[in-house]
């Protein structure tokens, strides 16, 4: 009887020791802090610049460092029929017909230069904003097509004052299909207009000397 009692006491002690050990382990686990592995920061969505185009001709510039050609630009614009460039030196036009012209007729879209984009419907397209600090575009005597890349608008009169011997500044209002023209030193202030980012601009230089358009006013 005595031995049986001793066995019961020893068994109870073992059970208590096991329970105590389990509770201590659980408590330690609950109190333990685990460091989470650092997560990669989410990639921010690029800021986009939106162009609203009207059916027919639109005079625009691509005011970012994104690289396009007439072909790749035309392919991202729904309903785009053609991209057209004016060649100042020989006063000629180069036209790339989207989906028709061979690659040999393709040409680069350069920063600070204005291009006509022809679409068969009112449409919009977006490109990532990748700001341009400055450009360098040769201005020859006669008509030149440049582009305004700054996100700060400028008046035609202000741009004209910054260009050497500039006789006329024109933008094409695609909504009504007409040019707006300001002639520095001649046009009244009521004919002045604002030029916004992404607009292509036709300017007339009276100087036989080549000057440089940098986009700075």
Question: Could you tell me the sign of the dihedral formed by the alpha carbons of 133, 58, 184, 211, in that order?
Answer: positive
Helices (H), 44-191: 70-75, 156-162
> pLDDT digits over 168-195, tens only?
999 999 999 999 999 999 999 999 999 9
Give the pLDDT mean for 123-141. 94
pLDDT above 70 coverage of the chain, percent: 82
Q: Is the pTM of this model over 0.85?
A: no
48-67 burial, b for 16+ CB within 10 Å, e for fewer? ebeeebebbbbbbbbbbeee
The token pair that represents 91 in the structure block: 């006063």
Domain boundaries, the chain: 1-34, 48-213
> pLDDT digits over 25-71, tens only?
444 444 555 566 777 777 777 799 999 999 999 999 999 999 999 99
Strand order, beta sheet including 166-173 = 142-147, 200-205, 166-173, 178-182
């Amino acid at each position: 009887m005595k031995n049986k009692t001793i066995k019961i006491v020893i068994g109870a002690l073992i059970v208590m020791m096991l329970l105590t050990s389990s509770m201590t382990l659980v408590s330690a686990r609950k109190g333990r802090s685990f460091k989470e592995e650092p997560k990669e920061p989410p990639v921010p969505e690029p800021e986009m610049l939106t162009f609203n185009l009207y059916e027919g001709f639109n005079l625009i510039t691509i005011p970012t460092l994104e690289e396009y050609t007439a072909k790749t630009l035309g392919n991202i614009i729904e309903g785009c029929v053609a991209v057209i460039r004016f060649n100042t030196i020989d006063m000629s036009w180069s036209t790339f017909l989207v989906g028709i012209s061979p690659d040999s007729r393709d040409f680069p879209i350069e920063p600070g230069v204005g291009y006509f984009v022809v679409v068969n419907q009112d449409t919009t397209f977006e490109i990532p904003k990748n700001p341009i600090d400055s450009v360098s575009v040769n201005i020859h005597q006669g008509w030149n097509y440049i582009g305004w890349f700054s996100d700060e608008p400028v008046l035609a009169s202000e741009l004209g004052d910054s260009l050497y011997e500039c006789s006329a500044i024109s933008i094409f209002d695609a909504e009504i299909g007409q040019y707006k023209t300001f002639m520095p030193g001649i046009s009244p202030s009521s004919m002045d207009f604002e030029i916004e980012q992404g607009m292509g601009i036709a300017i007339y230089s009276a100087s036989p000397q080549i000057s440089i358009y940098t986009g700075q006013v």
